[in-house]
Structure formats: C-alpha cells, structure tokens
Amino acid sequence: MKYACFIDESGDHVLKIDKDYPIFVLCGVLLTKEEHDNRLTKLLNELKTKHFGRTTIILHTAEFLRPRSLNSVYYPLCDVNKRNDFYKDLENLIRNIDFKIIAISVSKPDYLADFKEVAQDPYLLSTKPLVKTVCLLHQELKLNEPIDFIAESRNNELDKQLMANYQYLNSSIPRIAEMVAFPNPVKKDKNVVGLQLADLVVTPIGRNLLDRKQYLNFDCIKSKLKLFKIPADWSRLKNIT
C-alpha cells in the first residue's frame, strides 16, 4: 500500500522572535494514496463547493483568518455564522479521513537561548525528527514502498536548501531510501489536497500550543496527533506570551 506525507508549516522559519507568534511548527499528514485520491479529494471538494462555490480554490488558513479585501473569496467567513458552519464541516472532514498527524514544534525563545549562534533554520531543524518519525511509522506499518515526503514549494532558494537537507538525511539515516522518497517541492497552484489538509491542521496546532482562541474543536486534531517539542523545556516562551 502506497503512503504519502504532506508537509506544511506555521510560523516564520527565520531566526527572529515574533512576539505575536514566537513558535514554528512543521506538520506532516500521513495517509494512503487511495485515501488521498478518493475520499479526501471528494470530501474537500464538497467542502469547497458548499462554502466557496468552486473546487479550484486553494484553501490557505492565513487568508481565510484574515481576508485581504472585500473582494476576497474568503470574505464571507468574516460572518461569524458562516465561519462557524465552515469549521463544523471542516471538523467532520478531519474526523472522517483516515490519517495521522506528526508535528514538530519549536519554541524560538528557548531554542535561540540554548543554541545562540549555532541555531539552525527551524524548518530545516524540524525536518530530521519529522522524517525519522515517518521512517518509524513505515516500519510499524510494514510497508513495501517508500513514503513520499511532499512539501509545498516556497521559493527557488529555500527549495534548494530543503533538497540539500534531504540529501544530507539520505546519507545520515540508515536504509532511509527504503522508507522515504523526496520528490521536488510542489507549487501551491497545483491544488494538491494533501497539502491543503496539512495547512488546515497546522495552524490549530500552533494556536493550541500558544493557548490561543480556536475556531474548531481541537479534539478532532488531537486524536490523530503525535507532537514533539524542540527544545524539551519551553519555560522562556512564557516570558514572551
């Protein structure tokens, strides 16, 4: 059975503390190709059609939390009733899709205090524990094919850095090629539903870690979530938030 892990992030990858959002979360959603191509695609397209009138829209949480203009396709979600209806349908979708969530979360205040000048880009830092966890799941599931590790393209330079990091992981983790494959990052306009699912769950994970208001019942995510924190102690974060 073929699996894929779709990757998205919440927060800025730069080594600078944003007091409004002082963490970084890298999230992978793991599901079978069959579940992705059939059930998830069907349910997500139904959600898009019901709330936005078309399936070609590419769901992006940052935009529908803060619509840019009155002409935004997401502007109707400013209405509290429409927003609540959307999130209820999203909760049902998350509950009804068979997938796992792996999230690597970085407290920037604690990480930078501990590692100072040798601190690494949080995105690249988070990639190794995410890949290693996916490798362990590959072994637990006793799969015969590698799991595709599919990330969204950001820009040419960042994509090059990510692929170089993947090459390093290929040389540093025993038998990794049997467990994980690293295709090139995918452009957002490809409308990949797995990447949109990752986008839809990663922001609630970040908001939960910061004890911020949620727009959906977090239990639908929590039941599927395996969470890791970098570093283990987040005591300095409390001084920021």
Contact 92, 81 (CB under 8 A): no
Indicate the CATH number for domain 3-240.
3.30.420.10
CA gap 98, 35 in Å, rounded: 7
pLDDT per residue of the chain (241 residues) written in tens, 0 to 9: 899 999 999 998 888 889 999 999 999 999 999 999 999 999 999 999 999 999 999 998 888 777 767 778 888 888 889 999 999 999 999 999 999 999 999 999 999 999 988 999 999 999 999 999 999 999 999 999 999 999 999 999 999 999 999 999 988 888 999 999 999 999 988 999 999 999 999 999 999 999 998 999 999 999 999 999 999 999 999 777 6
Classified as helix, coil or strand, 61 is helix
Query: Where do the structural domains in the chain lie, given as residue ranges?
Result: 3-240
Rounded CA gap, 218 and 50, in Å? 22
| Token pair listed for 176 | 């990794």
Q: Where are the beta strands (DSSP E) in the chain?
A: 3-10, 23-32, 100-107, 147-151, 180-181, 225-230
